[in-house]
Amino acid sequence: MRRLQVDPVTLDALREFGNIGAGHAATALSTLLGGRVKMSVTDARLCPFSEIVDVVGGGETIVAAVFIRIFGTISGNMFVLMSLPSADRLLERLLERLLPAPRKAQEYTELEQSAIAEVGNILSGAYVAAISDLCGISLNQSIPAVAIDMAAALLDIGLMMSGDEENQAILISTSLVHDGNNIDAYFFLLPDLDGTEVLLDILRGKIRHG
């Protein structure tokens, strides 16, 4: 797959997409967590799928991952990744109790994993809505699946599904602040086939024409 050109218009389009998604997510998470949520985009760019593990701290880093399949005008895979400290801070707010730390991946309960899946579902839904709003296309998403494991093991699944390690994902890195707690989350969108180029062409057009 040829590398897509990343020019100033493309970067503006990705930032706009990220900011709109973060706005949707902050509103939804404010209701879920109770109280004001401030959510900002710290990075928005194209990232080769083979390099995602470096973004989250390396292949052996244990992360909480939520996987969602999107389908409609554009189909593809979405991942929401959080470090375990960020996931635990989030869980403490949702479950209203302190959690032991550090913990091993297998020590996360079914309730805790369900809570992480719900947050991932909200975050992914926010970005699906952002794509729909910006591009004027219809998209739906699957029920979220959650796993806690090494980043390399989790992302190998996505790589197998994409079929091309040079495929480029849209990366949106976010920082969420609620009640003094900072929670970092990484959102990756990997459209099928030439979907990334199609999506970027639509976004560029929207940016150019206001």
DSSP per-residue string spanning 154-199:
HHHHHHHHH--TTPEEEEEEEEEEETTEEEEEEEEEEESTTHHHHH
pTM of the model: 0.86
List the domains of the chain with CATH numbers: 8-208 (3.40.1550.10)
Alpha-carbon span 81 to 192, nearest angstrom: 20
Q: What's residue 1's pLDDT? A: 47
DSSP state of 81: E
Alpha-carbon span 124 to 74, nearest angstrom: 15
Q: What share of the chain is helix, strand, coil (3-state, %, to 5)?
A: 50, 30, 25
- Taking residue 206's Cβ as centre, other Cβ atoms within 10 Å add up to 16
Predicted confidence pLDDT, tens digits, the chain (210 residues):
445 666 787 788 888 888 989 998 999 889 888 888 999 999 988 888 778 888 888 889 999 999 999 988 888 888 999 999 999 999 998 888 888 877 888 999 999 999 999 999 998 999 888 888 878 888 889 999 999 999 888 877 766 665 555 567 889 999 999 888 888 999 988 887 667 777 777 777 766 665
Alpha-carbon span 26 to 184, nearest angstrom: 13
Alpha-carbon span 21 to 17, nearest angstrom: 6
Q: What's residue 111's pLDDT? A: 94
Give the dihedral of Cα atoms 194, 197, 202, 207; nearest 10 deg.
170
Q: What's residue 115's pLDDT? A: 94
Q: What's residue 135's pLDDT? A: 80
Q: Is 23 helix (H, G, I), strand (E, B) or coil?
A: helix
| Per-residue tokens: 206 | 């929207």
